[in-house]
Structure 1
Amino acid sequence: MTKILVTGHRGLVGRHLVPRLKSAGYQVVGLDIADGSGDITQPENIRSVISNVSGVVHLAAVSRVIWGERNPSLCWQTNAMASHSILEAASHCKQKPWVLLASSREVYGEPDRLPVSEDAPVCPVNIYGRAKAKMEQYAREARLDGLNTAVVRLANVYGCVEDHEDRVLPAFCRNAAEGRPLRVDGFDHLFDFTHVDDTVRGIVKLVALLNASERDLPPIHLLPGIGTTLFEAAKIAVDAADSDSSIVAAPSRTYDVGRFIGDPARAKKLLGWEAKISPSEGIRALVKAFQTNASLIETA
């Protein structure tokens, strides 16, 4: 049975990916500071688990732009330097496992035109984006040295009530479900929201290709290619909850990218993948999940 290491297996994507990998017949070992299985910033933790795996799905990261701004040193150490350590450890393994690295639409910064293709210039505007761009550079260098690497660029993944409560869509959906105000940092900010089920489905397809020794894969978006403004997302959440929650405008943050829609054509061509869940459908489903969760808590 093929054994795969998933870093950050307790995060939003990891929690949904691991069961899918297991159901597809893979053996999975995890590394995540959240459950004490290992801190990727400590190279010895990486070396202890990577020596006997066939592949690595590297998800672990300081996963929010705002956290990177609050602690840029930790963001760089985790997202850039620890990624380098993982690639270096894989390169020194006898069997040289393939490494799939989760990057972000933040590497593009403020794009000149929409939708953005994977060949658009990399020009990040915050420490999170710069660290992810550096991670991608390390992946390219490792590939030149013979390691099979691939990069998937994710965009505003959502879809779980257990996500960080202050992340934008979970915050909108929870507040709408509870009848509380929705704070919107930039009404006209435009994003390509991707449901976690679609994200995981795409990653599983990439894992299958890499496990079949597919090499030299280019960076690939996993996203629907549908733009939704923050005001539109908030309105969908309030309507889905049938609540009287107010939508409150707040100033946008200076380090946030204001607009992004990605081009999903490459994923369709190389993976046969398309997003199945539209942002409107996904937001409505998440509101209902929060309402159900609240009802279960009340009756417990």
Structure 2
Amino acid sequence: FAGFKAVGEGVQKPLMYYNNNLIGTITLLEVMAAHGCKKLVFSSSATVYGWPKTVPCTEESPICAANPYGRTKLFIEEICRDVQRADSEWKIILLRYFNPVGAHPSGYIGEDPRGIPNNLMPFVQQVAVGRRPALTVFGTDYSTKDGTGVRDYIHVVDLADGHIAALAKLSDPSIGCEVYNLGTGKGTSVLEMVAAFEKASGKKIPLLMAGRRAGDAEVVYASTEKAERELKWKAKYGIEEMCRDQWN
């Protein structure tokens, strides 16, 4: 699982994040080793890429996490590599999630944060149902098609399918410690995502335009060629389906 995952909170409470995410994973690895369970699919994150100078991000792109949350993921990736190098019985797959959104179409599994959301879509949804007066858009002067930040949003069902593909790959005897991006390979701006949600929900989302937020990258999206080639996996859902399932 992601562990603690609020980027802003991690900046304010780094020791809490390192203790939970980093130390917790080390403890898990120790317990797994003690019981002879040496297969792991780890939830990493695109935050390990920091502020990429070129996109799309491939698994070979430079990694330079820009905040404590991202660094916990980066450090855990390195720990997993060290563990596997020391003991070849380990088979580990590191999945770098981009921006998961949406819900299971049944409506039984989704996201409704009790506190302040950490991601765009819960904010949008809370505005749509009247829990917040407006959506604050941070940064309208980026070098993108509409001036707002661009991210790679992936439906949670596609993400789940990616895990199933990764589990199947663990049976490959050649696997040591491998990393795969899980995204759509497409960048979507904040305003494009808001427009798609308005269409799916029939609700108008009031916007409050604000300046850039410190630490936010301009454009981040994945190359999914490796996952498509080696895991035989590819995201199926577009932003329309993501917004529809998030709303319904």
Task: Tell me the TM-score range normalised by the shorter chain.
Answer: 0.7 to 0.9
Contact 2:196 2:239 in 1 (8 A): no
Structure 1 residue 199 displacement after superposition: 0.2
Alignment correspondent of 2:19: 77
Paired letter, 2:111:
E
Distance in structure 2 (CA, Å) of the matches to 1:201 and 1:228: 21
The one of 140, 147, 163 aligned to 2:81:
140
| Percent of paired sites with the same residue | 25
For residue 32 of structure 2, what is the aligned residue in structure 1?
90
Aligned residue in 1 for 2:238: 278
1:183 corresponds to 2:129 = no
Would the aligned equivalents of 2:84 and 2:177 in 1 still touch at CA under 8 Å?
no
Task: Give the Cα separation in 2 of the matches to 1:252 and 1:61.
Answer: 27
Q: TM-score, normalised by structure 2?
A: 0.84
Q: 1:252 to 1:76 in 2, by over 3 A?
A: farther
The worse-fitting range, judged by mean Cα deviation, of 227-236 and 197-206 is 227-236
Q: Partner letter of residue 154 of structure 1? A: Y
Contact 1:106/1:257 (<8 A) preserved: no
Matched, 1:149 2:92: yes
1:162 aligned residue (93, 108, 111): 111
Give, in whole Å, the separation in 2 of the partners of 1:243 and 1:221. 33
Structure with the greater relative contact order (CA < 8 A, sep ≥ 6): 1 or 2? 2
Structure 1 residue runs without a partner (length 5+): 1-58, 290-300
TM-score, length of structure 1 as denominator length: 0.71
The residue that corresponds to 2:223 in the other structure is 263
Letter paired with 1:112: K
Tell me, in whole angstroms, the C-alpha distance in 2 between the residues paired with 1:87 and 1:243.
46
In 1, Cα distance between equivalents of 2:210 and 2:174: 46
Q: 1:60 to 1:243 in 2, by over 3 A?
A: closer
Structure 1 stretch 156-165 or stretch 184-193: which is displaced more? Answer: 156-165
Matched pairs, number:
229
Q: Which deviates more from structure 2 when the two are superposed, residues 175-184 or residues 107-116?
A: 175-184
**What is the match of residue 111 of structure 1?**
52
| Whole-Å separation in 2 of the counterparts to 1:109 and 1:60 | 17
The yes-or-no answer on 1:228 pairing with 2:228 is no
What amino acid does structure 1 have at the position aligned with 2:93? A
Give the whole-Å Cα distance in 2 for the aligned partners of 1:77 and 1:257.
26
Larger helix proportion, structure 1 or 2?
1
**1:158 & 1:244 partners in 2: Cα distance?**
19
Spell out, residue by residue over 1:50-93, the C-alpha distance to the aligned partner (whole angstroms, 9 max, x if none).
xxxxxxxxx14112212212311111112222212222332333
Please state if 1:123 is matched with 2:48.
no
